[in-house]
Amino acid sequence: MFEGCVEIRNHYSDYLDGSCDPLARKSIRFHLSYCASCRQELEGWETMQADLRGMRRLQVPPELALRLRVEVSREAHRKWLGWLRVWLDNVLQPVLLPASGGVLAAVACFCLIMGSLVVPVSKTPDVPLGSPTPPAVLVLAPIDFNTPDAAVIVVVPVDAVGRPMRYRVLSGATSPELLRQLDRVIYFSNFQPATWYGRPTDGQFVLSLRRITVRG
């Protein structure tokens, strides 16, 4: 079936994985029975495979895993917004005349808002007793906060009485001035503690801050 050594060696990966068809497998075995050079090459492949199998799987630290998840969700959000913009351009441009465009857009927005105000009737309680709820921001401190570029993402642990504890910055700028602003925003805000079986407990949540402007 196979012509020479090079052709045989191109099938080593399938041969070792057991995914070769029976004819190819027979042909390779026959070639190996008389070609010492190809046998030696195959032994090299087998050693490499055994080494790869013996490698220890590295555990990703939880903090890095969380940071990666935040980055992935941020990227997905950006892509989704871009896709929505293109879709709206494609859908709206052919149907809207310049004069009626504003009116139609206003009617569409009104319908969307009215639709979102209708609360579906549900027979189940809002928060089933058995499910845990994460902490949440009740009132964000009215303090000016402004990041120079990307949003600052922090993990904020909140205790059972809603007090924020020592937070960790996951990503974003961390200049001393910004950290001072961040301290004031977090320690002067009001939080709702996490719950477990309806009872307040310790918990933590991820907060993304970009800009808070206080007027008046």
> Residue 71 Cβ, how far from Zn ion at the closest point, in Å?
49
Q: Which is nearer to Zn ion, 31 or 156 (CB)?
A: 31
Token pair for residue 182?
A: 């961040």
* 198-204: long-range pairs with CB below 8 Å, 24+: 198/127, 198/129, 200/160, 200/161, 200/162, 201/132, 201/160, 202/157, 202/158, 202/159, 202/160, 203/132, 203/134, 203/135, 203/157, 203/158, 204/134, 204/135, 204/155, 204/156, 204/157, 204/158
35 is a site residue for Zn ion (CB under 5 A): yes
> Residue 15 Cβ, how far from Zn ion at the closest point, in Å?
13
Q: Which of 12, 15, 28, 38 binds Zn ion (CB under 5 A)?
A: 38
5 is a site residue for Zn ion (CB under 5 A): yes
> Residue 29 Cβ, how far from Zn ion at the closest point, in Å?
12
Q: Which is nearer to Zn ion, 38 or 178 (CB)?
A: 38
Query: Taking CA 176 as the corner, what is the angle to CA 172 and CA 177, rounded to the nearest 5 degrees?
Result: 90
Q: Which is nearer to Zn ion, 42 or 170 (CB)?
A: 42
Token pair for residue 84?
A: 């929505």
Q: Which is nearer to Zn ion, 15 or 145 (CB)?
A: 15
- Which residues does residue 47 pair with via DSSP β-bridges, in sequence order? none
Query: Cβ(77)–Cβ(47) under 8 Å?
Result: no
Stretch that binds Zn ion, among 29-37, 48-56, 87-95, 153-161 (CB under 5 A): 29-37
136 is a site residue for Zn ion (CB under 5 A): no
Q: Which is nearer to Zn ion, 44 or 142 (CB)?
A: 44
Q: Which residues bind Zn ion (CB under 5 A)?
A: 5, 35, 38
